[in-house]
Amino acid sequence: MDVERWPGEWMRGVLPLCLLAVVAENETYGYELARRLHAAGLGTVKGGTLYPALTRLEDDGVVRSSWREGDGGPGRKFFSITPDGLAFLAERKVGWTTFTERAGSLLHPERASS
Amino acid sequence: MRTDAYRDELLLALRLRDVPGPRIAEVLAEVDSHIAESGEDPTGAFGPPREYANEVVDTIRGDERSDWRIGAVLRSVPIALVAGLGGYLLASGLWGLASGRPVVPGMPALIAALAGGALFGGILLWQMTPARRREQRVLDPRTGLDLAPEVPTWARVSVVAFPVTLLLIGVVLGLLAR
């Protein structure tokens, strides 16, 4: 399996959290978010997947957006995390670690400590 | 597909799905700015316009979203029926007034014309209220520019002039039938 093209159902599960985590570090804009995810080895997130996910996050109140003037070009839509978003991310980070450890123990029982 | 062609198709697809004007504007601006940064082909980045429009509808919360197909039909059929009835009464009433002959059973021609005019005119006014036009507006969030400019005056005049002409022809025919 080409690791740059992860299964869609995995990406659908993890994308909102990853977007939130990147936005929590620094407010940033769509294209840059896609670039960060790609740089982290999660493959290419296309615009058609990226913006709906960001819109859902905004509708849920965990990020907020604002249009800023670009340098010489059309404006960019910047996303920043809200207080609710920080709380949500903190909670989900813990949950995700537990979840993946448990799944991992099923996939690699030989590695699980007895 | 060229970006402006993609944007036009996407705008139309979103309108057909009754996506509110402000949301349409955000989506179009997002596509525009993303493509400007990445230089990709819009269909490659966002998928075919109709599919992306469906995706946009999916992101609208359940309580706001209406099944757009049902909504479009439920709204347009009664409107068409009432407008059609009004048009019939108006045209028949005018012909009856002009020719002096009875037209609509059980109703004097003048009443028919007035009732028809009221129904038909009422539908027109209702569909064209300023509030409705405002919520349909698609204003680019970056520049405030109207992405879906008003129908030009000549088109609006033609839309009104055409049925009015037909009604006048009906009146003339009625007069000739005296």
For A29, name the nearest residue in chain B, comparing CA atoms only. Answer: B34
Out of A12-21, B22-31, B86-95, B102-111, pick the least confident.
Answer: B102-111
Average pLDDT over residues A54-60: 95
Query: Which of A19-28, B61-70, B130-139 is most confident?
Result: A19-28
Q: Is the pLDDT of residue A19 over 90?
A: yes
Question: Long-range contacts: A17-21, Cβ < 8 Å, 24+?
Answer: A17/A89, A17/A92, A17/A93, A17/A96, A18/A42, A19/A50, A19/A53, A19/A54, A19/A57, A19/A63, A19/A79, A20/A57, A20/A62, A20/A63, A20/A81, A20/A85, A20/A88, A20/A89, A20/A92, A21/A89, A21/A93
Pair of tokens at residue B76: 């347009």
Average pLDDT over residues B103-120: 87
Q: What is the ipTM of this complex?
A: 0.87
Name which of B4, B34, B51, B56 to mutate to probe chain A: the one with the most chain A Cβ atoms within 10 A of its Cβ: B34
Shortest Cα distance, chain B CAs vs residue A110, angstroms: 42
Q: Alpha-carbon dihedral of residues A81, A87, A92, A95, nearest 10 degrees?
A: 160
Q: Which residues of A touch B (CB under 8 A)?
A: 29-31, 34, 46-48, 50-52, 55-56, 59, 67, 70, 73-77
Shortest Cα distance, chain A CAs vs residue B25, angstroms: 12
Q: What one-character DSSP code corresponds to residue A40?
A: T
Of A31, A47, A70, the CB nearest to B46: A47
Shortest Cα distance, chain A CAs vs residue B20, angstroms: 15
Greatest Cα pair distance in chain B? 72
Residue whose token pair is 């799944």: A103
The pLDDT, as a whole number, for residue A21 is: 97
Measured distance between the N- and C-terminal CA atoms of chain A, rounded to whole angstroms: 31
State whether A47 and B30 contact (CB < 8 Å).
yes
State whether A31 and B40 contact (CB < 8 Å).
no
Q: List pLDDT tens digits, range B29-77.
A: 999 999 998 999 999 999 999 999 999 998 886 655 555 566 666 677 8
For B48, name the nearest residue in chain A, comparing CA atoms only. Answer: A48
The pLDDT, as a whole number, for residue A32 is: 94
Of B26, B34, B61, the CB nearest to A31: B34
Angle at B6 between CA B2 and CA B7, to 5 degrees: 120
Instruction: HSE, CB side, 13 Å, CA atoms: give it for residue A12.
Output: 4
Summary mean pLDDT of chain A: 90
User: How far apart, in whole angstroms, are the C-alpha atoms of residue B71 and residue B68?
Assistant: 5
Of B35, B59, B142, the CB nearest to A56: B59
Q: Is the pLDDT of residue B132 over 80?
A: no
- Using a CB-CB cut-off of 8 Å, the residues of chain A touching B19 are none
State whether A30 and B34 contact (CB < 8 Å).
yes
pTM for the structure as a whole: 0.74
From the number of C-beta atoms within 10 Å of its C-beta (0-12, 13-18, 19+), residue B176 rates as: exposed
